DNA sequence: AAATAAATATATCGACCGTTCTATTTTGAC
DNA sequence: GTCAAAATAGAACGGTCGATATATTTATTT
C-alpha cells in the first residue's frame, strides 16, 4: 500500500524535525499531525507503540541521515583534520541558517528522555555509537591504535555536541567553528605522530593526541 | 517574613533538581509542589511569572552553585590541567552516583527552551558565559592572550558539556574521564608553551593549544 | 465485482497541564 | 490586642495531552 507508506514517511519526517527543534515533551501529536498534513487516525495505525515508537523511528531516521552525511564528508576529505573542519563548517552554517533552532537531531531528546524512556535512550545511544565508530575507523586508518582511536572519537563527538549546544544557547556559531579548528589541530598532531609508523609492534599506551 | 522565604527556597531547590533530571516540559508544577512539600497556592505568590520565572530562578541558583564549585576547584589546583582533571573526576563520580540521572543542571533546559523562551535562554547563556570567563581568567594567568584564552575556555566547556551528555545517554562515565585527560594534556601543552613568556610584545595569532 | 485487508476519519476518553480565583490562616508592626 | 500585609489553602478553570474505540473509506487480491 503506497499511500500508507507516504503518510508514515511524512509523520516520521515531521516528527524528526520537531524533535530536533523542540524536544520530546514539547512536541505533541497534534502538532505533528497538523504540520505534516497527515491523518490523525493513522498515527496509531503506523505506530501502535504511540508517541514513543514514532519518536524512535524519527530519531533513527535522523541518526542514519547524519551518519551518511558524516560518512560522505570523511570519505571525501584527504585527512581527518580536513574532515572535522568541513563538518564544523557545515554545522555552523546550518545552525545560522536555521536561526539557531536546529542543532543535533538527537541531543535534545537524549537529555530529556535518557532518564524516562529506556527505549528512546537506547535508540539514541546506538546512533551515537555508530557515529563514533565511523570517526574511529578513519583515525585507525592513520595508524592509531583502536583503543586510542575510540577515545579520540568519543572526545571529538563530545566536543561537537557541546559546541552545538553552546551555539544554540548563545545564538552564535563561533563555538562550532572554533571547536572545528581546535579539533583539526589535534587530528593533525595525532596524524603527524602516528603516520610514519607501520604495523605497530605490540601495543602502545595511549600515545595519541599527545600534543 | 521567614516562612515565605523558606517556602520559596524549597520551591527553587526542588525545581532545580527536577529541571536537571527531567528538563522543563517534563517537570510539572504539581510535581514540584508535591515533592517539595510546598503549598501549591504559594507558587504564584512567590513567582508571579509562573513556571517560567520559577525555572529561571532555579537555573540561576544552580548556575551560581556550579560557578562557586568551579571557582573553588580552580583556586585549589596548582595548574589548569590539574583543575580540569579534578572537575572531571567529580563530575564523573556524581554522574555514577546519581545513576546517570543528573548531568549539567542547565543543559537539558538549554536545548529545550532555547527556541521557546527567550528569558530562559538568556538566563542560561549568561551563566555559561560566567563559567567560561572563570576558566579563561585562569588560563590568562598562565600567559595566554585573552582572545585565545576565551576560545580555549569555550572549547573546554563545550567538551565537558558534550561529555556529560554522552555519559548520560551511554550510562557510562568514561567519556567524562577521558575528556578530562585529553583536556588536561591540552592545558599542559598550552601552559608549557606560554609559560616562559613575559608581557607579550604585540599580539600572537592563536598560538595556544597548538599541540 | 466481490472479498479482504489497509488506511483514514472522527468522536471521545480520563488525566494532567499551567493558571486563576476566592477564602483563610499566619505573621509582623503598632 | 488590633490591623494590615504576607503567606497559604484548596477548589476550579479552560485547554491540551496521549490514547482508544468505532466507523468509514480506500486499496489490493482473487
pLDDT in tens, A145-188: 999 999 999 999 999 999 999 999 999 999 999 999 999 999 88
Residue B205 has pLDDT above 60, yes or no: no
Distance of CA B192 to the CA centre of its chain: 27
Beta carbons of B155 and A151 less than 8 Å apart: no
Residue A210 has pLDDT above 50, yes or no: no
Proportion of chain A above pLDDT 90, given as a percent: 79
Distance CA A189, CA A122 (A): 34
Going A102 to A106 to A112 to A116, the CA torsion angle's sign is positive
What is the rounded average pLDDT of the residues A26-30? 95
Proportion of chain A above pLDDT 70, given as a percent: 88
| DSSP per-residue codes, B108-139 | HHHHHHTTT-HHHHHHHHHHHHHHHHHHHHHH
What is the rounded average pLDDT of the residues A16-22? 96
Beta carbons of A169 and B125 less than 8 Å apart: yes
What does the pLDDT look like over B10-50, one tens digit per residue? 999 999 999 999 999 999 999 999 999 888 888 999 999 99
Q: Which residue gives the smallest C-alpha to C1' distance to C24?
A: B41
Chain B neighbors of A155, CB-CB under 8 A: 159, 163, 175, 178-179, 182
Q: How far is CA B207 from CA A81, B73, B192, B199, in A?
A: 18, 26, 12, 15
What is the rounded average pLDDT of the residues A97-109? 97
Closest nt by CA–C1' to A46: C7
Facing A175 at nearest CB: one of B111, B154, B179: B154
Looking at residue B2, what is its pLDDT?
Answer: 63
What does the pLDDT look like over B105-158, one tens digit per residue? 999 999 999 989 999 999 999 999 999 999 999 999 888 999 999 999 999 999
Beta carbons of A25 and B21 less than 8 Å apart: no
Q: How far is CA B86 from CA A128, A158, B153, B164, in A?
A: 26, 19, 16, 15
Closest nt by CA–C1' to B25: C17
| Interface residue of B182, B184, B193 to substitute, partner A, most A CBs within 10 Å | B182
Grid cell of B105 as nine digits: 543542571
Q: Give me chain B's average pLDDT, please.
A: 89
- Chain D nucleotides close to protein (CB under 7 A) are 6-11, 16-23, 26-28
Q: What are the contacts of B140-143 at 24+ separation with CB within 8 A? A: B142/B80, B142/B190, B142/B191, B142/B194, B142/B195, B143/B194, B143/B195, B143/B197, B143/B198, B143/B200
What is the rounded average pLDDT of the residues B179-193? 84
Q: Is B92 on the interface with A (CB under 8 A)?
A: no
Distance CA A97, CA A29 (A): 27
Chain B neighbors of A152, CB-CB under 8 A: 182
Grid cell of A154 as nine digits: 568519543
Q: Which of residues 12-71 of A touch B (CB under 8 A)?
A: 21-26
Q: How far apart are the first and last CA of chain A?
A: 57
Looking at residue A7, what is its pLDDT?
Answer: 86
Chain A neighbors of B158, CB-CB under 8 A: 159, 162-163, 165-166, 175, 179
Name which of A85-89, A100-104, A141-145, B132-136 the model is least confident about: A141-145
Q: What class has domain A56-194?
A: mainly alpha
Facing A178 at nearest CB: one of B25, B101, B151: B151
Q: Which of residues 165-184 of B touch A (CB under 8 A)?
A: 165-166, 168-171, 174-175, 178-179, 182
| Interface residue of A116, A154, A190 to substitute, partner B, most B CBs within 10 Å | A154
Beta carbons of A211 and B186 less than 8 Å apart: yes
Find, among A12, A130, A87, A22, the residue nearest to B169 by Cα.
A130
Q: pLDDT band for A189, please (50, 70, 90 cuts).
A: confident
Amino acid at each position: 500500500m503506497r499511500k500508507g507508506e507516504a503518510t508514515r514517511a511524512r509523520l516520521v519526517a515531521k516528527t524528526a524535525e520537531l524533535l530536533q527543534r523542540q524536544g520530546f515533551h514539547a512536541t505533541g501529536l497534534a502538532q505533528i499531525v497538523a504540520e505534516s498534513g497527515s491523518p490523525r487516525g493513522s498515527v496509531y495505525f503506523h505506530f501502535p507503540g504511540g508517541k514513543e515508537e514514532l519518536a524512535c523511528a524519527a530519531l533513527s531516521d535522523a541518526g542514519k541521515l547524519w551518519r551518511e552525511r558524516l560518512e560522505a564528508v570523511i570519505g571525501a576529505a584527504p585527512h581527518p583534520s580536513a574532515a572535522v573542519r568541513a563538518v564544523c563548517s557545515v554545522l555552523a552554517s546550518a545552525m545560522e541558517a536555521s536561526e539557531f533552532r536546529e542543532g543535533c537531531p538527537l541531543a535534545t531528546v537524549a537529555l530529556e528522555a535518557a532518564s524516562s524512556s529506556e527505549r528512546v535512550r537506547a535508540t539514541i545511544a546506538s546512533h551515537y555509537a555508530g557515529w563514533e565508530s565511523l570517526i574511529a575507523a578513519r583515525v585507525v586508518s592513520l595508524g592509531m591504535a583502536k583503543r586510542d582511536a575510540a577515545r579520540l572519537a568519543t572526545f571529538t563527538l563530545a566536543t561537537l555536541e557541546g559546541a552545538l549546544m553552546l551555539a544554540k544557547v548563545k545564538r552564535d556559531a563561533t563555538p562550532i567553528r572554533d571547536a572545528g579548528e581546535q579539533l583539526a589541530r589535534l587530528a593533525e598532531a595525532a596524524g603527524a605522530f602516528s603516520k610514519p609508523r607501520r604495523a605497530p609492534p605490540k601495543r602502545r599506551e595511549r600515545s595519541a593526541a599527545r600534543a
